[in-house]
A and B are shown apart, each in its own frame.
Chain A
Amino acid sequence: MNFRRILKAIFQSQLGPIFALAFILMLFAVADQRWSSGNYLSPRNFRVMMNSAALIAVPALGMTMIIIAAGIDLSAGTALTLCGTVLATQFKYAAVAAGEPGFAWVVIQAVCLTLLTGCLCGLVNGGLISLTKVVPFIVTLGTMTIFLGVGQIISKESTVYADEKNIPEWLSDFCYTGSNSERYLNFGIFPNVPNSVLLTLILAFAVVLLLRYTVFGRNVFAIGSSESTARLCGVNVPFTIIAVYTLAGVFVALGGLMYYANVKNGNPSDGMGKELEIIAAVVLGGGSLSGGRGSILGTLMGALIITAIRSGCAQLSILNTYTHIIIGGIIIVAVIVDQLRHGSPEWFFRLLPAKTVEN
């Protein structure tokens, strides 16, 4: 086989992010075996990684849709912790404790309010973007701090802790990664897969179908590729944009719910910087910030790549500071590779050896 052809095939296939993830896992697994405890690919650590990836991936599903529609949402991080804080206050000030009659109603109310908060955040973003025509970057830069402020009002500028008794069992177990099989909602099919991961997979599948098999999905791609063409074809552009941001808001709220299940408290300022992680997952997965391009499978891989690197560095006792540098470097490299794939990779492939020895 020809070295050039193989490289080209890998670069140009849609499976790029999967290869990248496999490569990174392999690299850390080997390094871990050689220099550290060898726990990197243990079931326990694998579950931890999957769970952290799920925390990024769920809001990133919404972000993928936004980015495909040539938008961006910088407020996703603070909106996420705002939702988590709303959930936390609901449990903190609940009138009835778990197990008592009427608690189910408290839970339903809390979850609905959380989802509604996310929806509202998305609606504000989408509404402002399509009515004022201000670019998404600026609008969501503004709402980013607004949502932070609103969260701090709700939390009275501190971290909201709810009594453990007041948290429903399914929620405490949502991000559980331990070895007690009974705490997993595995339906008897998936052995010890964190519930957060199950939810992520279901949601991802739903978004794939939404983007590929509905008129709404095709319209999202069309708007991202050329908004004026979409308008000319009779696509209701303002409605579609508002719907995309609102739907992304729902994913952010679900992310907030998972965040709460993971840390068991609500701190609005935790969200600062989370949006960049979410955007990075989309970009690593092949999403183009100029719109029209992005893939759900890629985004999932992107989220896994980020957590695989973070966990690997932790296993190898690499300092946090270096982890940041490595992840930053990977993002830039990923985008360059992606450009090679879609732009004109000819000059690059000319640099490779023209012919290799065949056997």
Chain B
Amino acid sequence: MRGQPILEVNRICKAFGPTKALRGVDLKVRAGEVLALIGENGAGKSTLLKILSGAHRADSGQMTIGDRPFRPAGPSDTRQSGVAMIYQELNLAPELSVEDNLLLGDRGHGGGLLIRKRQRPKVREALETVGLGGLSPTAIVGEQSIATQQMIEIARALVAEARIILLDEPTSSLPQKDVARLFSIINDLKERQIGMVYISHFLEEVREVADRYTVLRDGENVGEGKMEDADDDTIVSLMVGRDVKNLFPTVPHIPGEPWVRVQELTGFPYPKKVNIELRRGEIFGIAGLVGAGRTELIRTVFGLDHSSAGSVSVNGKPIPSTIRERIKAGFGFISEDRKNEGLAQDLSIIDNLTLSRLGDYTTMGVLNLKRRKQAAEKLLKRVQVKCKASDQAVSELSGGNQQKVAIARILHQQADILLMDEPTKGIDVGTKAEVYQMLGELAATGKTIVFVSSYLPELLAVCDRIGVMSRGELRDVRDTVDWTEEEVMRVAIV
């Protein structure tokens, strides 16, 4: 029955050492509805999810499913109780087949024996529900697209007969058209009286899919209600605890003369014969669907991916296509994969910050650690990184602060051409605004910024010009005023 609460969370508290992550959080999920869990990074959303999935245990408070108390000791308990998690990063075994993935965690029949044939109807039904009726259960998961894998994860929840599904940023790696597909599947699941908790940073997305919302801030409930009763400003100010007048702060800057030229740049398989002229003091946006070759383009420009043809020149001088030469010529790069590529997680903030330009602190090959520390701390202050100490490991920082360290690194490198791949991915609204502000300030000092993003509103708000990519080609470049969201999408899906 719709409206019947199936999951209730009461006064959950959780502390990690001296930090209180949750201070008595309440949550109520009803059958057949989607509850949006909203909050900045560090508000306690992921801690709450981890408690629900059994990865952490609450210090105090109760949870009930239906009428029974719910105290998960681990993922298998959670599965038994009918709760399924869909994480931001996919949790599938890529080498295994679709059906083996779907049945992973299933207790099997007859003393642990897995009789695939007997399970096959269940597998097929789940796949059909998520719109993958045509996918063979024996296909290998790693060979499927990201979007298909996302659907397979949902199918896994269905095979486990989940009544509650927790979705943590499920769209962060999905291209636009698959987001729509995901939403229609979520609507189907509602029909089946499944209750869902939906976590996302994208308000417009939440608005589209959720019925109710709960906002967390600093581990406490600060507001809840029906989605249609609240406007964006209300929710954002609840999230950050102050009025946010401007989600996209801009700094006036005037683009100068062209100085970086990318000519006929081609790589395998993408990009394909891309030409760009970048001006000083300009923010150049690159839009397009995931898989359109945006990442490949700026990686090739930076020399990270090999180019098979074409050239990159600065001030008319062609630059050899090795990373070291490109860095020397003034290029800096921020990876979209902050965790694995962007930052060395175990190393200290200082090490990460200075790695690309250590030469400044050496005399006769010997590093002056004190001078390095001073320089790093000055930069940390400038980009406002919240940390205990500068020799703290980067892995201990929140996503937004990690991103600031990554940005600080290319500032430290004194790069003049900043290539940024999804620099606002996975960071909260407040930090996003700080990043936009920073980009504007950098452009005002004459730096050139190439801004790749899947989030159109930010590109339209921040960039001077936007180029749209599709199938590895840069299809159309216009001044931002000449673009609308619809126009961009029209070019992107060709």
Q: What residues make up the interface of A, taking CB atoms closer than 8 Å to B?
A: 212-215, 217-219, 221-222, 225-226, 228-236, 292-293, 346
User: Does B327 lie within 8 Å of A234, measured CB to CB?
Assistant: yes
- B257 part of interface (Cβ distance < 8 Å): no
**19 A-B pairs (CB sep. < 8 Å):** A214-B362, A215-B362, A218-B351, A221-B344, A222-B347, A225-B346, A226-B341, A226-B344, A226-B347, A229-B340, A229-B342, A229-B343, A229-B344, A230-B344, A231-B304, A232-B304, A233-B409, A293-B346, A346-B16
* Cα A217 to Cα B344 with chains together (Å): 15
Distance between A301 CB and nearest chain B CB, rounded to angstroms: 21
Q: Which residues of B lie under 8 Å from residue A346 when comparing CB positions?
A: 16-17
* Chain A interface SS verdict (over half): helix
Asked if residues B342 and A232 are in contact (CB atoms below 8 Å), the reply is: yes
Q: Bound complex: CA of A219 vs CA of B355, how far in Å?
A: 8
Residue contact A214 to B347, C-beta cutoff 8 Å: no
Q: Give the one of A213, A218, A228 with max B CB within 10 A.
A: A218
The answer, among A212, A218, A229, A236, for a CB contact under 8 Å with B358, is A218
Residue of B at shortest CB range from A347? B57
Which of B62-70, B190-198, B364-372 sits within the interface? B364-372
Minimum CB–CB distance for B450 against chain A, Å? 15
Mark each residue of chain B from 318 to 331: 1 if its CB lies under 8 Å from any CB of chain A, else 0.
Answer: 00000110010000
Q: Is the CB of B355 within 8 A of A222?
A: yes
Compute how far the CA of A229 lies from the CA of B342 in the bound complex, rounded to whole angstroms.
Answer: 6
Could you tell me which B residues sit within 8 Å of A by CB distance? 16-17, 304, 323-324, 327, 333, 335, 340-347, 351-352, 355-356, 358-359, 362, 365-367, 369, 409
Assembled-state Cα–Cα distance A346/B343 (Å): 26
The 10 residue pairs across chains A and B that have the minimum distance between CB atoms: A233-B356, A225-B344, A226-B344, A228-B341, A233-B355, A292-B346, A234-B327, A229-B344, A215-B358, A225-B346
Q: Which residues of A contact B345 (CB under 8 A)?
A: 225-226
Contact among A214, A217, A221, A226 for B340, CB-based, below 8 A: A226
Do B367 and A230 touch (CB < 8 A)?
no
A315 vs B44: C-alpha distance when bound (angstroms): 57
Whether B367 lies near A218 (C-beta < 8 A) is yes
Nearest chain A CB to B77 CB, angstrom units? 17
Given contacts A232-B335, A234-B324, contact A214 B341 (CB under 8 A): no
Cβ contact within 8 Å between B343 and A226: yes
Closest Cβ of chain A to B330, distance in Å, is 12
**Cα separation A215 to B355 with both chains bound (whole Å):** 9
Contact residues in A for B351 (Cβ distance below 8 Å) = 218, 221-222
CA distance A222 to B341 in the complex (A): 11
Q: Say how far A123's CB is from chain B's closest CB, in angstroms.
A: 22
- 9 more CB-based (< 8 A) A-B contacts, given A222-B355, A292-B344: A215-B358, A215-B359, A215-B367, A225-B346, A229-B340, A229-B344, A229-B355, A231-B323, A233-B355
User: What's the nearest-Cβ distance from chain B to residue A28, in Å?
Assistant: 35
Determine if A232 and B366 form an interchain contact, defined as CB atoms under 8 angstroms apart. no
Q: Assuming A218-B355, A218-B358, A218-B367, is B347 touching A232 (CB within 8 A)?
A: no
- Which of B304, B358, B359 has the most chain A CB within a 10 Å cutoff? B358
Most A-side CB within 10 Å, residue of B324, B346, B409? B346
Contact of B356 among A221, A234, A236 (CB under 8 A): A234
Bound CA–CA A217/B347 (angstroms): 13
